[in-house]
Amino acid sequence: MAQQASVNQGHPKGLYLLFFTEMWERFSYYGMRAIFILFMTKALFMSEAESSNIYGSVTGLVYLTPLLGGYIADKFWGNRKSILVGGILMAIGQFLLFFSGSAVVDGAQSASSIALMWGGLTFLIIGNGFFKPNISTMVGQLYPVNDSRIDGAFTIFYMGINMGAFFSPLICGGLGDTGNIHDFKYGFLAAGIGMVISTISFELLKNKHLVDPEGKPLGMPKAKMSAGTWGIILGSIAIIYALMNFQTIVAWIFGADAVAAEGTLAYTVAHLDLVAYLIYTSMVVMPIVILTDKSLTKDERERIIVIFILAFFVVFFWACFEQAGASLTPICRSTG
């Protein structure tokens, strides 16, 4: 009996695998975030206003795409495959940013560097949508229902997030923000390596440690994905890339001179913030779609309503928090 009690007081090894995986993923993301604004303003010669707008669009989409990733995991892929796909996409995104940093030129914007940056950001946004909502949900699945260890498990898991977020600016920032615009690529490279470590460790150890209290594997695929769903994924990638490149597309259609001339239709269209419109529309449409789902029980619907209420107030915290990677970065860099 004493031996059984001591076992129950500990945590399953799967928790520490999720801790390690999430720590390196957050290292990758926050490492990129620490130097992203500086990379755009110093190496790509963008204005602080334009860079902040891009950063805000990326951040907003990063928190929007988990709706798609969570849906696909719940209906088709399961947690494991979604995390693997998300990790691979995010690693590709970081390495595209590395190549973007490698393509910068002195004294002028590099078209190839900017194109690679858009590609990298698109992969990061989509990859995060698959990765982020699925790894957190696996923590609670490691334990029996109403197990008293679950609260402690999420505390431990969140410490992994904090550790990754703490070390990433020191390493990625130290390697990338040296005063030489050609060194930003090394910060992105470090972030990419961190994402590779996260993905490989998860893939190698998931079958051994990610099991429920009865020893059954967690997060297994649920159904074969239809061609229509694949179309949704590929369409989402294309839409996000198009939104991020909207001004470039408008300039290609109307001509760069027309876009640059204030008061013209091309200028007005090019400066529409379609990402913001997409996010605001989703804030209204998605709760309606979810709450009108007839498969929800009364208890599930009430819990979701509570989540939406809490999420509304959390918005103000994250709006301030995300200034760390946007408006506060140039200020701290210039005064430091």
Which secondary-structure segment (H or E) carries 284?
helix 274-291
Residues constituting the chain: 336
Distances in whole angstroms, Cα of residue 281 to Cα of each of 58, 134, 135, 276 = 16, 24, 27, 8
What residues are paired with 108 via a beta bridge? 105
Residues 6+ apart with CB under 8 A from 41: 47, 48, 51, 330
Neighbours of 257 (CB within 10 A): 10
3-state secondary structure labels for all residues of 242-272: HHHCHHHHHHHHHCHHHHHCCCCHHHHHHCC
Cβ proximity of 282 and 64 under 8 Å: yes
What residue spans define the domains of the chain? 9-244
Helix residue ranges, H only, 10-110: 13-38, 48-64, 66-72, 78-102
Tell me the chain's radius of gyration from C-alpha atoms.
21
Distances in whole angstroms, Cα of residue 44 to Cα of each of 37, 100, 271 = 10, 10, 20
Residue type at position 298: K
In three-state secondary structure terms, 108 is: strand
What distance lies between CA 6 and its chain's CA centroid?
38
Cβ proximity of 190 and 31 under 8 Å: yes
Cβ proximity of 291 and 301 under 8 Å: yes
Architecture of domain 9-244: Up-down Bundle (1.20)
- The one-digit pLDDT tens for each residue of the chain (336 residues) are 444 433 456 889 999 999 999 999 999 999 999 999 999 999 999 988 888 888 888 988 898 889 888 888 988 899 999 999 999 999 999 999 999 999 999 888 888 999 999 999 999 999 999 999 899 999 999 999 888 899 999 999 999 999 999 999 999 999 999 999 999 999 999 999 999 999 999 999 999 999 988 889 999 988 887 787 788 788 888 888 888 778 878 888 888 777 777 778 877 877 777 777 887 787 788 788 788 888 888 888 888 889 888 888 887 777 777 676 666 666 555 555
